[in-house]
Amino acid sequence: MNSNQDINNIVENMLTVAKAENIKKYKEWSHKIPSLKFPSDWKITIIPPFGGAMVRFMVTRDEYPDQSVSVYLDCDDSLGCVGQPYWEIYPFKEDTYRFLMNETDDLMDGIDLAFGNRRKVLTKS
């Protein structure tokens, strides 16, 4: 490959990334996504936001070495039909469970419950 082809590929990739950033509105959402306060015994692995998710991460805990909970944030119904930004966790009782974007305390409780902790009971239908 010659240097002109290299430069063309770099420019093409930059334009593709800029187009994706514009479509997903990353800068706009970066100011709207709430902070999350994780318990100290959780290990968080950040995952690239594939499949249309805005954010993805995986939660593990030392006391449950064979278990993890996958979490994503969908801000534009790319992955579901909620009508507003939501978090989804999996697995939750062998299914998924969703929380609206600002329901961060409930999200943390849901992840905790997915590991088997029964301190709280989620009552959403």
Top-confidence residue, 26 or 119: 26
Q: At residue 16, what is the residue type?
A: T
3-state SS, residue 11: helix
pLDDT (0 to 100) of residue 122: 58
Q: What is the rounded average pLDDT of the residues 31-43?
A: 95
User: Model pTM?
Assistant: 0.84
The model's confidence at residue 99, banded by pLDDT at 50, 70 and 90, is very high
The model's confidence at residue 35, banded by pLDDT at 50, 70 and 90, is very high
CB atoms within 10 A of CB 114: 21
Domain boundaries, the chain: 1-31, 33-125
The model's confidence at residue 118, banded by pLDDT at 50, 70 and 90, is low
CA distances from 109 to 13, 75, 119, 122, 123 (A): 40, 21, 8, 8, 11
Residues 101, 90: contact at Cβ < 8 Å? no
Q: 106 exposed, middle or buried (CB, 10 Å; 0-12, 13-18, 19+)?
A: middle
pLDDT(10) > 90:
yes
Q: What is the rounded average pLDDT of the residues 28-55?
A: 95
Q: What is the CA radius of gyration of the chain?
A: 18
Top-confidence residue, 123 or 47: 47
Q: What is the DSSP letter of 54?
A: S
pLDDT (0 to 100) of residue 55: 96
Q: Which residues have C-beta within 8 Å of that of residue 103, sequence separation ≥ 6?
A: 87
Of 111, 96, 6, 3, give the one whose Cα is nearest residue 59.
111
Name the least confident of 11-25, 71-85, 107-121: 107-121
